Amino acid sequence: MAGYTTTNPTTGRTDTEFTSLTDSDVQDVLSRSHAAFPGWRATSADARAAILARVADVYEARAQELAGLIATEMGKPLQQGLEEARLAGSIYRWYATHGPELLRDEQLDPQGAKESLVQTEPIGPLVGVMPWNYPYYQVARFVAPNLMAGNTIILKHAGICAASSETMARILHQAGVPTDAYLNVFASHDQLAEMIADPRVRGVSLTGSERAGAAVAENAGANVKKSVLELGGSDPLLVLDDADIERVGRIAATARLSNAGQACNSPKRMFVPRDLRDAFVATVVDVFRKARLGDPHDEEVDVGPLSSVGARDGVVEQVERAVEQGATLHIGGQALDREGAFMQPAVLTGVTPEMEAYHEEIFGPVAVIHAVDTLEQAVEMANDVTFGLSGSVWGTDLQRAQEVGDRLDVGMVYINEHGTTLPGLPFGGVKRSGYGRELGRWGMGEFVNVRLRRTAVK
Which of the residues are catalytic?
230, 264
Question: How far apart are alpha carbons 101 and 90 in whole angstroms?
Answer: 17
Question: How far apart are alpha carbons 296 and 72 in whole angstroms?
Answer: 8
Question: How far apart are alpha carbons 183 and 32 in whole angstroms?
Answer: 9
Question: How far apart are alpha carbons 262 and 279 in whole angstroms?
Answer: 26
Question: How far apart are alpha carbons 188 and 3 in whole angstroms?
Answer: 8
Q: What is the DSSP letter of 109?
A: P
Question: How far apart are alpha carbons 172 and 182 in whole angstroms?
Answer: 8
Q: What is the DSSP letter of 150?
A: T
DSSP helix/strand/coil, 77:
coil
Contact between 142 and 128 (Cβ < 8 Å): yes
Sign of the alpha-carbon torsion through 436, 437, 438, 441: negative
Contact between 36 and 180 (Cβ < 8 Å): yes
Contact between 328 and 347 (Cβ < 8 Å): no
Residues 6+ apart with CB under 8 A from 338: none
